[in-house]
A and B are shown apart, each in its own frame.
Chain A
Amino acid sequence: MTRDSYRKKRYIISILMTFILSISMFSLFCAVMMYFNFGDQKVITNSLTESKYYDKVAKDINERIKEIATNHDIPEEVLLKVISSEKITVESVKYIERTLQGKEAKIHSDDIEDAMIKQVTLYLADQNVTITEQLKDSIHILAKECKVVYENKIELKFIDYYKQYQAKVFHWLKITIPVILVILAVCSVVLVRMYRLKHQGVRFLAYSMIATIYLSVIANILYKPLKGMDITPAYYKSFIDTYIQKCRMQNNILIYIEIFLLVLILLGIKVLKKTAK
């Protein structure tokens, strides 16, 4: 093999290794990104707190209860005695935290329905209103409406799906991260060992890192369509927007780490060049 043909072959293998390294590094970025976005439950709880989710749920439920009271010609204080803002907040927090911990979370809506029937019946008795069968049916409909509002607005299915995704992500990360690390190690060693002057091999690592940083920035931008989604209610949208914002901030930190690693590689190349002289 002549020297020129050897150099050409080495160059082609280097390009190939660089390309594989770029894909592997980007895959590792995605894997770490998934781990932090789904693995860290604090992101969820902080997003709920910062977006004032619990207060807004309580306010929303209260507004609906007031509407139900108006529709049925009952003073709103009668119904709000049963479903108070504090009770809603406590129930919401307990429900979400138990779900995040993987425990069974129950919403005590049946208690609400029974309490509502009792409260309204007592109020009507105080007003000397005769409770006919028709009136009983109306009271039951009112209580059921309140129960449905309470149950459905406190329940946050997103947390259940988040836990399901978390389990899937962890399962796949256990397999993919070791494989990616092995590929990275093999490609890096091959690149460095192919060249007598080590800085010539290390520069290909720098090229891969540059491509990875570029792709990571693009990947982070791809989260943007999620933020502008048309979803209701407004407090849920606010929570989702906060959560996505936090995920993007975490991804930005990963990108800064990549830039720092690039700087280290470039410094490494400089040092190796000097020692080679």
Chain B
Amino acid sequence: MIPILTLIVTSGILYIGGKPIHSIVLADIKYTIVKGSPTYHYSEDMVSQSDTSDGNLEQGEVKIPDIGIQYAELISDRFDSAIPIYYGDSEKELQKGVGQYIGSYLPGEGKGILIGGHDTTFFESLDQLQANDKISIRTSYGEYTYQVKKAEIHKADDYNAYDLEADTEQLILYTCYPIGKIITNRQERYYVYCDKIDGPTIVKEPTND
């Protein structure tokens, strides 16, 4: 009776108290393993060979990445190291880096770019970004620089938090809020809005009417 009771009570307490901590520790270990990879800081297509001397790129020069592929890196002085950006934002991509919502646009297309990441791993220092900080996205077709304009907190289901179809290119980074807290079900998101200041524009090919 006593061994079973000890077992059940100890397991119960460790499960209740330990489960959120275990999730965070496991996520941190996975994050360390992923960012420790030889190819984490480098995507082999990052050496740009496109001629962007006139500041423009033909649409045909830029290939839309396959879902699940790392196509860029996110760089900022506020982050420990360059963060890989994957095309797609499912859990599979978010375990390895930050994920771009495929319904948003690529850097250079002149519209909204929505990128999300976990607050316990790659976006743990997202709240350290301040107004006028510079963020770069390095892709295989060019390097883009954005300037942080503001940060806001919105409900997770608030689709007015961003406008991906606006006519100015805006980089929107987001993560769960409160950042880094051991709460399993968070209803709010922390958004950082950044305007483009440099980088080649992808020129749409004229259609034959």
Contacts and interface: CB of A to CB of B under 8 A. Distances in A.
A134 B4 CA distance: 79
B10 A156 contact: no
B95 interface: yes
Interface in A80-114: none
Given A152-B39, A157-B40, A222-B22, A230 B33 contact: no
Give the size category of B's interface with A. Answer: 20 to 34
Given A15-B5, A211-B3, A229 B33 contact: yes
Interface in A212-235: 214-215, 218, 222, 225-226, 229-233
B41 A215 contact: no
A57 interface: yes
B47 interface: yes
A148 B39 contact: no
B47 A148 contact: yes
A215 B11 contact: yes
A255 to B, nearest CB: 16
A196 B185 CA distance: 52
B32 A210 contact: no
B42 A157 contact: no
Secondary structure dominating the interface of A: helix
Contacts of A15: 2, 5-6
A144 B14 contact: no
Contact of B38 (A152, A161, A210, A226): A152
B143 to A, nearest CB: 15
Contacts of B46: 148
A215 B2 contact: no
A64 B44 contact: yes
Interface string A1-41: 00000000000000100110011001000000000000000
Contacts of B5: 15
Given A141-B47, A229-B30, A207 B35 contact: no
B37 interface: yes
Contacts of A159: 36
A230 B35 contact: no
Which residue among B5, B33, B39, B47 has the maximum number of chain A CB atoms within 10 Å of its CB? B33
B156 interface: no
A149 B43 CA distance: 10
B49 interface: yes
Contacts of B33: 158, 226, 229, 231, 240
Contact of B37 (A162, A211, A226, A232): A232
17 contacts: A15-B5, A22-B6, A64-B44, A153-B39, A156-B36, A161-B35, A165-B32, A207-B6, A210-B7, A211-B3, A211-B11, A215-B11, A226-B29, A226-B33, A229-B34, A233-B39, A240-B33
Interface of A: 15, 18-19, 22-23, 26, 57, 64, 141, 144-145, 148-149, 152-162, 165, 204, 206-208, 210-211, 214-215, 218, 222, 225-226, 229-233, 236, 240
Interface of B: 2-3, 5-7, 9-11, 13-14, 22, 26, 29-30, 32-42, 44, 46-47, 49, 81, 92, 95-96
- Nearest first, the 9 closest Cβ-Cβ pairs linking A and B are A158-B36, A152-B42, A207-B3, A22-B10, A157-B36, A211-B6, A211-B7, A161-B32, A153-B38
